[in-house]
Amino acid sequence: MKKVRIGIAGYGNLGKGVELAIRQNDDMELTAVFTRRDPSSVKTLTEGVKVCSLDDAKAMADEIDVMVICGGSATDLPEQTPELAKYFNVIDSFDTHARIPEHFANVDKAAKENGHLALISLGWDPGLFSINRLYAESILPNGKSYTFWGKGVSQGHSDAIRRVEGVKKGIQYTCPVDEAIEAVRSGSMPELTTRQKHTRECWVVAEEGADLAKIEETIKSMKNYFDQYDTTVNFISEEEFDAVHNKMPHGGFVMRSGLTGDGEKTNQMIEYSLKLGSNPEFTASVLICYARALSRLRNEGATGCKTAFDIAPAYLSPLSAEELRAAML
């Protein structure tokens, strides 16, 4: 069997996760890593992997079946995905929900004009959580949907903490409120405010001599980031910080509480949850799984841009349709 030849564009936490996920899938192989840094300065986890400058990527168009783009959503992906879609079949994890329609249109145009296939906004949210919202809302039209995130590290909120004067290191965990989840599970379809759904837990290493009370007050009152939440700020030593807060766990819950039957009185509950030891490694596993689907769909002639909504589950598995029906249905 011919393996799917993968290129990785961007070699941060997500790119490294993709490299490791490829090792778990026999039908995939890593062809090259592309970076904006000096390629000679990048040391990959896998010995002997080719590292190239991202600027030279297009010269390798014939050697790569799927380019997995591992940049950030704020500024990297809006540029990179449409540009690389001119030369490659591409997949990304673009997660700025409000800008997805615009990103989709840009990528779709570039991919269609050049006969390539693109998959955007893959991962777990957007991605697996989106699919579960869609399945659940389609099955239970009379109902209410809820998404809870955490417990997990929010990069955006951690960055915000680190910008506060006197903060040397900082990390923020988004925590779902157990009572809110239980209220949803009860079938009562509660209306929940932002404050009722999540709390924010901050761990901070302060600069020597910094005003701790002021740091705490500045964090807690930060508009949009923290002011609408019950926030706790914990000051710890740098040693403890480095030892305990060096992982990127995350996860969450998608729930749909619905009513069916005569008079719509029967409670039905659908719940999907993730508990992830590493957010970037899991996101990478989702990307590689969808790279398989992308490769197959491209071989069937598909071009343009698609999302997780457009991909039939069978395309994700290395098993044949017959094997899936016999073993997994």
Please give the structure tokens belonging to residue 141: 């039209």
Single residue of 285, 291, 294, 304 touching a copy of itself by CB under 8 A: 285
Measured from the CB atom, the residue of 64 and 274 that comes closer to a copy of itself is 274
Measured from the CB atom, the residue of 97 and 163 that comes closer to a copy of itself is 97
Distance CA 206, CA 212 (A): 7
47 binds a copy of itself (CB under 8 A): no
Single residue of 75, 191, 213, 329 touching a copy of itself by CB under 8 A: 329
Q: What phi, psi does 28 have (nearest 5°)?
A: -120, 150
Residue span 152-171 as binding mask against a copy of itself, x where in contact by CB under 8 A, dash where not? --------------------
Q: What phi, psi does 87 have (nearest 5°)?
A: -115, -20
38 binds a copy of itself (CB under 8 A): no
Measured from the CB atom, the residue of 213 and 329 that comes closer to a copy of itself is 329
182 binds a copy of itself (CB under 8 A): no
Size of residue set near a copy of itself by CB under 8 A: 71
20 binds a copy of itself (CB under 8 A): yes
243 binds a copy of itself (CB under 8 A): no
Let me know: does 199 contact 177? Beta carbons within 8 Å: yes
Closest contact distance (angstroms) between CB of 278 and a copy of itself is 5
282 binds a copy of itself (CB under 8 A): yes
59 binds a copy of itself (CB under 8 A): no
Stretch that binds a copy of itself, among 66-74, 154-162, 216-224, 256-264 (CB under 8 A): 256-264
134 binds a copy of itself (CB under 8 A): yes
Measured from the CB atom, the residue of 34 and 104 that comes closer to a copy of itself is 104
Stretch that binds a copy of itself, among 14-22, 65-73, 79-87, 157-165 (CB under 8 A): 14-22
308 binds a copy of itself (CB under 8 A): yes
Single residue of 61, 100, 177, 236 touching a copy of itself by CB under 8 A: 100
Residues shown for the chain: 329
Distance CA 193, CA 300 (A): 46
Q: Which amino acid is at 312?
A: A
Please give the structure tokens belonging to residue 67: 């380019």
Please give the structure tokens belonging to residue 70: 């591992």
Distance CA 126, CA 156 (A): 16
Distance CA 304, CA 295 (A): 13
Measured from the CB atom, the residue of 209 and 261 that comes closer to a copy of itself is 261
Indicate the SS3 state at residue 4: strand
Q: Which amino acid is at 86?
A: K
**29 φψ region: left (φ > 0), alpha (ψ -120 to 50), beta (else):** beta
Distance CA 289, CA 294 (A): 9
Closest contact distance (angstroms) between CB of 312 and a copy of itself is 5
101-121 burial, b for 16+ CB within 10 Å, e for fewer? eebbebbbebbeeeebbbbbb
Single residue of 12, 115, 156, 277 touching a copy of itself by CB under 8 A: 277
